[in-house]
Amino acid sequence: MRISILICVLLLLSCKEQRFEDKYDWHTIEVTASAYNSTRHQTDSNPYITAYGDSLKPGLNYIAVSKDLVKKGLKHNTPVKIEGFDSIYFVKDRMHSRWKNRIDIYMGLDVKAARQWGRKKVSISYGIPKPIEEKHTSR
Domain residues of the chain, as ranges?
Answer: 24-129
Taking alpha carbons only, the member of 27, 90, 93, 20 closest to residue 54 is: 93
Top-confidence range, 9-13, 54-58, 119-123 = 119-123
Spatial separation of the C-alpha atoms in residues 113 and 139, rounded to whole Å? 61
Give percent of the chain with pLDDT exceeding 90: 58
Strands 62-65 vs 120-129: parallel, antiparallel or unpaired: unpaired
Residue 72 has pLDDT above 70, yes or no: yes
- pLDDT at position 122 is 98
pLDDT value, residue 38: 82
pLDDT for the residue 43: 59
For the segment 84-135, what is each residue's pLDDT rounded down to a tens digit?
A: 999 999 999 999 899 999 999 999 989 999 999 999 999 999 999 988 775 5
pLDDT band at 78 (very low <50, low <70, confident <90, very high): very high
Closest CA to 65 of 100, 19, 16, 37: 100
- pLDDT value of position 93: 93
- Give the pLDDT score at 123: 98
What is the value of pTM for the model shown?
Answer: 0.79
- Give the separation between CA 117 and CA 111, rounded to whole angstroms: 10
Q: Let me know if domain 24-129 sits in CATH 2.40.40.10.
A: yes
